[in-house]
Structure 1
Amino acid sequence: MNQSLIFHGNSELLEGPIFDKQYNYLYFVSILDYLVYFYNPQTKELLSVKLDSPVSCIYLLENKKILAASKNGFFEIDFNTLQKKFIFQIDIDDKVRFNDGIKDINGRYIIGTMGYPEVKDNIGKVFSYDKGQYKTIIKNTTISNGLAFSSDNKWLYFIDTPTKKVAKYMYDLTTGNVKFDSYIIELLGAGSPDGMCIDTNGMLWIAEWGGSCVTQWNPNNGKRLQQLDLPCKNVTSCCFDNNLNLYVTTAKSETDNDIYGGGLYYLELNKI
């Protein structure tokens, strides 16, 4: 595996990488800097747009256009023009902010919350937004984090980080409702599960906060398949590109020698 540091902008908390497989672009956020980034792997062009509150995740819209979720609302950002415009808001408590999110194949926006500026137990929720209406689908979370759908869209995998587990929910594509099924993965080491993605074989890849790695798991039997180490403690999320290689975001830690935390990494798992 070849590993390279793509970007290091002294960010405290990089998160939410998402790869646009149609146009070959990467998007990610620096949550506490209120920044949304666009990266073109072919040209190495890097663009950013700043919002006015912590920005947590990105949903793809069209060529160089995305929807970014921030504490003060969901904004459409056009990286062709670097313009932004407010689209909608989900009413949340002043003491929380949005965190990880995902879009289902019918276009619903799913997003979780967590305590902000302080993490508080069971203050978070997971919302579903569709056609101007939103509802709570998961309650009493602490740090709502990684979300991934099974390939048949029948299951939603979800991480509430302090549980150190991955939960599995039945997902109703017609209504957008979920029903808890079971906990399928438990992390027993130093790391806690943060963001995650799913590969073409249905295996889950989990970024480990405090674990200095990304790990691959089989959701069918809960077994860990492999571990990819990174040179920083807090690994926040990951996504695949069209070549099945991984982009990985990280955050700074309080470790004295953590000079690489807060960077964006590229893990070349497959030679092109």
Structure 2
Amino acid sequence: MNQSLVFHSNSELLEGPVFDIDNNYLYFVSIFDYLVYFYDPQTKEILSIKLDSPVSCIYLLEKKKVLVASKNGFYEVDFNTLKKKYVFQIDIKSSVRYNDGIKDPKGRYIIGTMGYPEVQKNLGEVFSYENGQFKTIIKNTTISNGLAFSEDYKWLYFIDTPTKKVAKYTYDINTGEVVFVADVISFIGEGSPDGMCMDKDGMLWIAEWGGACVSQWNPNNGEKIKELKLPCTNVTACCIDNHGNLYVTTAKSDSVNDIYGGGLYYLEIDKI
């Protein structure tokens, strides 16, 4: 595996990498810097736009234009013009902020919440937003994190980090409703599951907070396939690019030796 540090700017918590396969661009956020980033792997250009509250999740709209979830609402961010505009807000509690999210093929925005500024048990929820209306689809979460669909969109996988499990739900593409099926993956080591994505083979890549790695799992039998180590403790999220490789975001830790936490990495997994 070839591994490279793509970006590092002393961020406390990088999160939410999303790759635009059609245009070959990467987007990610620095949550507590309120920053949304654009990265062009071809030219190495990096752009950023600052919002007015913690940011967490990015949804692709069109070329160099994204929808970004911040505590104070969802904003359209245009990297063509470097401008932003408020679009909508969900009626969330003042004691929570948004965290990971995903969009379904019907255009529904699915997003989880967690306690902020303090994490509180079972205070979070997972919402589905469509055409100005929203509903709760998963209740009583603590740190809502990774969300991933199966290729046919019949299943939704979800991580509530403190449970150290990946849960599987049926997903009704017509109504957006979910029904819990089972916990299909369990973590027993130091790492706790954070963000995740699914590869072309239906395997889940999961960032491990506290585990200094991303790991690949089979959601059909719960078996761990492999893990790829990183030089920092807190690994937050990952996404797959148009070459089948991984972009991985990380966060700082309390370790004095962790000088690369808060960086963005590129892992060439096709060279394993």
Q: What's the TM-score, normalizing by structure 1?
A: 0.99
Equivalent runs, 1:199-210 vs 2, <5 Å: 199-210=199-210
The reply on whether 1:77 has 2:77 as its aligned counterpart is yes
The Cα of 1:270 is off from its aligned counterpart by 2.1
Q: Distance in 1 between matches of 2:118 and 2:257?
A: 25
Q: Show the counterpart of 2:91.
A: 91
Q: Show the counterpart of 2:260.
A: 260
Q: Show the counterpart of 1:231.
A: 231
Q: Show the counterpart of 1:21.
A: 21
Q: Distance in 1 between matches of 2:77 and 2:151?
A: 28
Unaligned 5+ runs, structure 1: none
1:11-52 deviation line (CA, Å, top 9, x unaligned)? 000000000000000000000000000000000000000000
Q: Show the counterpart of 2:30.
A: 30
Q: Show the counterpart of 1:166.
A: 166
Amino acid at match of 2:177: N
Q: Distance in 2 between matches of 1:117 and 1:211?
A: 24
The Cα of 1:129 is off from its aligned counterpart by 0.1
Q: Distance in 2 between matches of 1:229 and 1:181?
A: 31
Q: Distance in 2 between matches of 1:260 and 1:227?
A: 19
Q: Distance in 2 between matches of 1:14 and 1:188?
A: 25
The reply on whether 1:144 has 2:161 as its aligned counterpart is no
Q: Show the counterpart of 1:191.
A: 191
Equivalent runs, 1:55-70 vs 2, <5 Å: 55-70=55-70
Q: What's the TM-score, normalizing by structure 2?
A: 0.99
Q: Distance in 1 between matches of 2:117 and 2:11?
A: 17
Amino acid at match of 2:200: T
Amino acid at match of 2:147: L
The Cα of 1:116 is off from its aligned counterpart by 0.4
Q: Distance in 1 between matches of 2:18 and 2:32?
A: 18
Q: Distance in 1 between matches of 2:20 and 2:221?
A: 30
- Give the % identical residues: 75
Q: Distance in 2 between matches of 1:134 and 1:94?
A: 17
Q: Distance in 2 between matches of 1:105 and 1:179?
A: 18
1:79-133 deviation line (CA, Å, top 9, x unaligned)? 0000000000001111100000000011100000000011000000000000110
Q: Distance in 2 between matches of 1:73 and 1:137?
A: 19
Q: Show the counterpart of 2:109.
A: 109
Q: Distance in 1 between matches of 2:266 and 2:63?
A: 22
Amino acid at match of 1:171: Y
Q: Show the counterpart of 1:11.
A: 11
Task: For residue 52 of structure 1, give the secondary structure of its aligned residue in structure 2.
Answer: coil
Q: Distance in 2 between matches of 1:70 and 1:136?
A: 18
Runs of 4+ in 1 over 3 A off after TM superposition: none
Q: Show the counterpart of 1:249.
A: 249
Q: Distance in 2 between matches of 1:115 and 1:58?
A: 20
Amino acid at match of 1:75: Y
The reply on whether 1:177 has 2:177 as its aligned counterpart is yes
The Cα of 1:241 is off from its aligned counterpart by 0.3
